Amino acid sequence: MIVIALIIIFVVSLYLYGTRNHTYWLERGVVHEAPLPLFGTEMSRFLMKRSMAQFAADVYCNHPKERFVGGYRACTPTLVIRDPDLVKRIIVTDFKHFYARGFTPAHKWMEPLLRNLFFADGDLWRLLRQRMTPAFTSGKLKAMFPLIVERAERLQARTLAAAAAGRTLDARDLMARYTTDFIGACGFGLDADSLNDDDSEFRKLGAKILNPTLQRAVVSVFKSIFPSVFKYNKFLGQELEDDILSLTKQIREQRGYKPSGRNDFIDFLLEWQQKGKVTVESLEKLKADGTPEAVHLELDDIMVAAQAFIFFVAGFETSSSATSFTLHQLAYHPEVQKKAQDDIDRVLVKYNGRLSYDAIKEMTYLEWVFMEGMRIFPSSGFLMRECVKKYTIPGTDVTIDPGVKITVPIQAIQNDPLYFENPSEFRPERFSPEEVAKRHKFVYLPFGDGPRICIGARLGQMQSLAGLAAVLAKFTVSPTPETRRELISDPRSTIVQNIIGGIPLSFTERTAIAVSLDDENKRSQ
């Protein structure tokens, strides 16, 4: 009898725990999806049947007449935003109410590698953002370009070997190797050489970071449902943390813990450590007179590893995704591919065949192609924010509290016929200045916007356009019998979308092309 009573008490307690807050949106008169105990409205995501991008798109499409739609991540209230004006308010105008990304359920503790610019919130984010912005100036990017050219040549060589042998290549893997090599050089001063070495340790590290795993999925679910109980469980795992810490320590030791003159990202972090603490006005703390307190940050070994980690992840994975998705579209749209190749040829002839920073900036049509590729299939299909101060949604009497999670389903918005006519059509001309001026700015957000816009957006676009130019200058891409016309996102994807089955493409050497990078290098020797 006692056992039965204990079971009943346990079940009732679990139910009450798993349904707390589930009347939040009902009490505010907000249209919302029906929650389930423990899982809220995101059961399909927790069971790895839908990725976050897919789930957010489903909610967006299921409620076409709403400005916003309520839901629950386990028992935490969530809000999917459908209205571009409200998107602007949240990520720009009213940023002080939504400066947190809200990826980490337990704010008092973060696993070491997540204490980086992307995942950090509040004062830690502001301190990191202020100090790291100088690492991505136009001058810094231009200085990095010779490293891109070297990797672009290796990209062409690997593709040529496959084309000559009649082999198909997985575009996702090919472009990941290219971006891995570039990030290895400009970030860590290493020659990863993954374009030549299939067993490159640096490439294996990238795969270890980003390949979806059951362990990460399970940790994510339990941290969402029982945040207090599982707050110390690491999403990334101890092995990966040890690998990153070891890598950054080894490089810094080799440089004597002083900048080496390479001007790479590790040098930038070493310079920061030499300069000492950085100080900013607090987002979270006020003095008695209502003015912000001053807060400080010194970069310790863990923080160095965390910033190097996010530079590595964001630098290679988002760009490799975007470029491979774009190549996939070009394979099915040969007329667009021809226009892009003509644009590349025109510019390379003007620059005597030399791929350069200025040459890339003149490849206007190629840039439109890339932007259209990111519109249809952005690397990350959503943006996340968290309410940090009570906020009344403009035009309503709905007030939301701190802790409410905000999702902007950018992939769904960017494929909405309300904003992009015939959205499934691949039409780069949508990004001509005339067309861009006609539409709402906040219906196209592949890099986000506002104070938390991707700090490396220009670096990512530069290496992406250079990689596409290097490939298309020498090769024509086409589908293979194994290529899927519609890409399928892996439901286990977290932030960046992984593709089921990869993106196999055929690369055929062009017979009539502009002066190649190789030819130019031979003449200059």
Please check whether residue 464 is in contact with residue 322, taking contact to mean a CB–CB distance below 8 angstroms: yes
pLDDT recorded at residue 521: 44
Residues in the chain: 525
Residue span of the structural domain in which 394 resides: 19-524
Reading the block at residue 12, the tokens are 């009732």
**Which uninterrupted H or E stretch holds 405?**
strand 405-408
pLDDT recorded at residue 513: 59
Q: Is residue 426 part of a domain?
A: yes
Query: What's the half-sphere exposure (Cβ side, CA atoms, 13 Å) at 340?
Result: 34
Residue with tokens 């040969």: 334
CA distance 332 to 371: 17
- CATH number where 428 lies: 1.10.630.10
- Walk along the chain (525 residues) in steps of 10 and give the mean pLDDT of each run: 86 86 96 94 88 94 97 95 98 97 70 90 92 89 90 94 94 94 90 87 79 69 71 76 90 90 88 88 85 88 91 87 96 98 96 92 98 95 96 97 97 98 97 97 96 93 96 97 92 85 95 53 42
Q: Is residue 448 part of a domain?
A: yes
CA distance 153 to 146: 11
Q: Is residue 247 part of a domain?
A: yes
Please check whether residue 403 is in contact with residue 387, taking contact to mean a CB–CB distance below 8 angstroms: yes
Q: Is residue 10 part of a domain?
A: no
Domain count, the chain: 1
Q: Is residue 491 part of a domain?
A: yes
Strands (E), 327-404: 383-386, 391-392, 399-400
pLDDT recorded at residue 266: 92
pLDDT recorded at residue 234: 72
pLDDT recorded at residue 441: 96
Q: Measured in Å, how far apart are the chain's first and last C-alpha atoms?
A: 90
* DSSP state letter for 497: P
Find all residues with CB under 8 Å of 275, minimum gap 6, and list them.
none
CA distance 159 to 508: 9
* DSSP state letter for 40: B
454 marked as part of a ligand binding site: yes
Q: Is residue 11 part of a domain?
A: no
Q: Is residue 85 part of a domain?
A: yes
pLDDT recorded at residue 515: 45
Q: Is residue 257 part of a domain?
A: yes
Reading the block at residue 144, the tokens are 């990095």
Strands (E), 207-348: 278-286, 292-297
